[in-house]
């Protein structure tokens, strides 16, 4: 990507944005990801900088009202990140979601995000996540109830729906705006699609043109060119990056502030994440989360499958560090786009 294009991208991303009654410094955000956007990863990401808003991993709404952040593996945070942190909650009914949203507001989060995008079988079985898109009345009922219950910004992350027709999603977006939702994060894929097919960028355009509240695009943003193309061709207000942010967390600083990764950036990152996971989680949960991270980390490399298998063989976090130190060297062959055989897991 040319120097001029990078400057254009940085200029577009580094525009402040009002979300409800609050302001965000830039328009490049970390997407919520189950098992990935946890407190340890967010701490490492914060050390690079450049991320306007961060989202927690998905928190089940029925658990949130009584969760103890010192014990919970998902509903936990650092006090210093709260002014830029949105808590994502998943539930099926207003009765599930309202008490959770109130707890989120009480704890001092920037905002609360209603999950209408997850299509994992366990979530769909609970009639949560993308299941809410099967019938618009239920989706609107929970959005309206949460909006009335809290004064902090309310976000909705949602997909195209259960069919490729964008019409119902457009109508839903308009209704979300009418209920007082402050921002939409839109992933332009049908609910059953596990990222095996390209996202449909034109659907982001349709949502952005339908409402006056901010709309963030999400999906298949891997390179700075992808990010610039999404901003320039869809009319969205900003970009939400998920798994590529886990693969290369410095991309937020790189795309917004010209950060230049070092020769040892991959090894440094792998070791730093191991240390912070060790600090914040017990050994079992730390190792489990690290191994999930390696799917996306290893997809950076030409021989990613081999590298990931070495990490998966680790029996402890000390083993993880030994693998990183032995196998992550300067000059390793990188791929321009992630190995989709790994990345789509």
Q: Provide the strand spans (E) within 56-143.
A: 59-60, 85-90, 111-116
Q: Please say whether the beta carbons of 171 and 160 come within 8 A.
A: no
Smallest Cα–Cα separation from 232: which of 253, 262, 201, 259?
201
First to last CA, the chain: 28
Q: Please say whether the beta carbons of 133 and 164 come within 8 A.
A: no
Class of residue 173 by CB neighbours under 10 A (exposed 0-12, middle 13-18, buried 19+): buried
Identified catalytic residue from 51, 59, 87, 118: 118
Smallest Cα–Cα separation from 96: which of 69, 118, 70, 115?
115
Strand pairing of 59-60 and 28-30? unpaired
Concerning whether 118 is annotated as a catalytic residue, the answer is yes
Report the alpha-carbon distance of residue 109 to residue 82 in Å, rounded. Answer: 5
The two structure tokens encoding residue 135: 């019938």
Residue positions annotated with a catalytic role = 118
């Amino acid at each position: 990507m040319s120097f001029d294009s990078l400057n254009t991208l940085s200029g577009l991303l580094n525009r402040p944005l009002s979300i409800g009654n609050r302001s965000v410094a830039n328009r490049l955000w970390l997407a919520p990801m189950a098992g990935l956007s946890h407190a340890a990863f967010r701490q490492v990401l914060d050390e690079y900088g450049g991320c306007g808003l961060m989202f927690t991993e998905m928190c089940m709404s029925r658990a949130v009202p009584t969760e103890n952040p010192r014990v919970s593996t998902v509903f936990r945070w650092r006090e210093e990140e709260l002014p830029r942190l949105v808590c994502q909650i998943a539930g099926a009914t207003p009765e599930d979601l309202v008490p959770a949203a109130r707890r989120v507001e009480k704890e001092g989060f920037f905002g609360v995000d209603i999950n209408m995008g997850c299509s994992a079988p366990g979530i769909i079985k609970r009639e949560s996540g993308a299941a809410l898109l099967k019938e618009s009345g239920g989706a609107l009922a929970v959005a309206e109830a949460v909006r009335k219950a809290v004064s902090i910004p309310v976000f909705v992350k949602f997909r195209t729906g259960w069919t490729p027709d964008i019409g119902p999603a457009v109508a839903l977006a308009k209704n979300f705006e009418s209920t007082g939702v402050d921002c939409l994060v839109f992933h332009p894929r049908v609910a059953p699609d596990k990222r095996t097919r390209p996202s449909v960028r034109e659907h982001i355009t349709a949502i952005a043109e339908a409402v006056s509240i901010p709309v963030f695009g999400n999906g298949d943003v891997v390179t700075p060119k992808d990010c610039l193309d999404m901003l320039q061709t869809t009319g969205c207000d900003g970009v939400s990056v998920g798994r590529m942010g886990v693969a290369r967390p410095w991309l937020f600083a790189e795309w917004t502030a010209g950060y230049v990764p070092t020769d040892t950036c991959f090894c440094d990152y792998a070791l730093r994440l191991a240390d912070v996971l060790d600090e914040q989680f017990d050994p079992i949960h730390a190792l489990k989360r690290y191994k999930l991270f390696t799917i996306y980390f290893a997809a950076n490399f030409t021989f990613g499958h081999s590298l990931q298998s070495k990490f998966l063989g680790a029996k402890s976090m000390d083993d993880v560090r030994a693998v990183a130190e032995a196998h992550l060297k300067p000059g390793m062959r990188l791929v321009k786009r992630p190995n989709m055989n790994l990345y789509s897991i």
